[in-house]
Structure 1
Amino acid sequence: MKKLAPAFVFSALTLAVGVAAAQSQPVIGLITKTESNPFFVKMKEGATAEATKLGAKLLSAAGKTDGDNAGQVTAMENMIAAGAKTILITPSDAKAIIPAIKKAQAQGVQVIALDSPTDPATAVDGLFATDNYKAGVLIGQYAKVAMAGKKPVIATLDLFPGHPVGAQRHNGFLKGFGLTAPDAKSNNLGGTAAGVACMADSFGDAAKGQTGMENCLQKNPGINLVYTINEPAAAGAFKALKAAGKEKDVVIVSVDGGCAGIKDVGAGVIAATSQQYPLKMAAMGVAAGVEYAKTGKKVSGYTDTGVTLIAGKAVAGVESKDVKTGMDLCWGNK
């Protein structure tokens, strides 16, 4: 028995070290709006890769649909119970999620918003996101030149009322086009005051985008410029326009810059799109979570993760990159 004791002691020490290591492993939660949207699929990929690289444990969850605040609240509560000390979230409801965020923070959890700000933005410890107003301005500037002096008859396929990202992109587009527009702090859509012919909520969904475009064409068959909240909505709009035989007469601009969206730019479905970088957002969020676990240092304020205009055809006076560059960069780190 005495000869076995040293081996037993070694095994016990090894087990103890293993348990301690497991207990010290940073646990980070990622809550996206949905699991099906390619943008959030890519965000999860980025978070997973960074967590593996830094030795963190990643928990992930999502709402059932865009706007499912209850699902996100439940996910947050489950992650806290599972030991998450940092939670990354793309808020579906910028205001309704705040009580859950405050509850998490009161328990020592760092909460970081990705892609979408809360309302107010200061409710979270930090935000890693595209400058969505700038993204809108870029496609608005492009559309202004691409219209080549034609009188614009505009339809906007938006997200849903009151969402900061939807408002910032919509209003940025108006601003870039040279129309009356609220500033970046407003969550109200400025299309009515700017003279937009038709506005419809797409929820960022292709089918709803198609329905919205069909309704807008019934309201005003002369629509010749379409802004969409994202590329799935743009694809739906194009489908409706093609069915009506109007796809060659309408300029579509959008935001996101996913690989499928960039292919649509190359195919002429979308004239130009503002590309964002969800992999970068997620990787930065996970890195901040690991830093907090190690040092107790939290992030603070807003970090711009960049935006690039990708265009099928360059236009004078508006800086853009081509489709090849867009495909090389699509949703990855710059």
Structure 2
Amino acid sequence: MSQTKIPLIGVVGCGYWGSNHARTLSGLGALAAVGDRHADRAATLAATHQVPVLSLEEMIADPAIDGIVLALPPHHHADAAIEALEGGKHVLVEKPIALSVSDARRVVDAAARAGVVAMTGHVLRFHPAFERLMELIGAGELGAVRYIHSHRVGLGKFHAENDALWDIAPHDLSLILAITGERPDQVHGEGSAMLNRLSDFAHLHLQFPGGIRGHVFTSRLNPYRERRLTVIGSKAMAVFDDMAPWAEKLALYRHKLWEDEAGWQSEMVDPDYVGIEDGMPLTRECRHFLDCIATGAAPRTPVSEGLAVIEILSQGTVRHD
């Protein structure tokens, strides 16, 4: 494939997130078709972006379509992804890529056999604030990372198949895996089901082989929204707050800590707000998918990362009768 050619992508799933993908890919000149089992929903989105409505099978059979984005109910992701991969199409499958470790492994195995781009939709990995945070960590600005904790809470989005852990935690687990560069060797989960059998609150406690510890808190029964990732290092602390104004989304705290005869002491300082470039994470993610297809580069968020997240979720899942 010529590197100057924009790959053409079909989007399967025309709900909220699939519509966002379609709009973004259309803006990049890469949208080829949309599809959804709800014909009226697909027709409306197709008319908006002036592309045809095609089924997954029709997209796979169309040689002009290079890749497929899957934004389906999660229990359909694995089978649809495998079908597209076995059809030779590049795939971006939204999180979670499956609802079981065995199905996620099937997706990873199918991608390896197909030899195409197979990417998980961990969109926050492409947020400019997180990219800048990774640069700071790589440059040693935080020193050695010791502890990571995330809070992602809000009200609503009650799914029939997914609890708060499976629906919300993948975002932060993908960020934590990127920061640590390793998988946890200990996972402990706690959940509370208030409305039905599915947890509306969930905690994950993580310990990594290198000594880093992590904590993830998710809730869909919270009176306020919070989207915050905090990284504690030996030299400084950083906070990625996605609810903050753009200029304040990434804060670096160089609090002073020292030990004297009276014990440990501290002195708080005002945060330094780190400048980040403008850009929508989904646009950057879709452009990355297109670039990987065009160049053959490995994706930043391969389906193997989606598998790693599901393995952690499975270890931390709390069952309710």
Q: Give the TM-score of the pair, scaled to structure 1.
A: 0.38
Whose helix proportion is higher, 1 or 2?
1
Q: Give the TM-score of the pair, scaled to structure 2.
A: 0.40
Whose strand proportion is higher, 1 or 2?
2
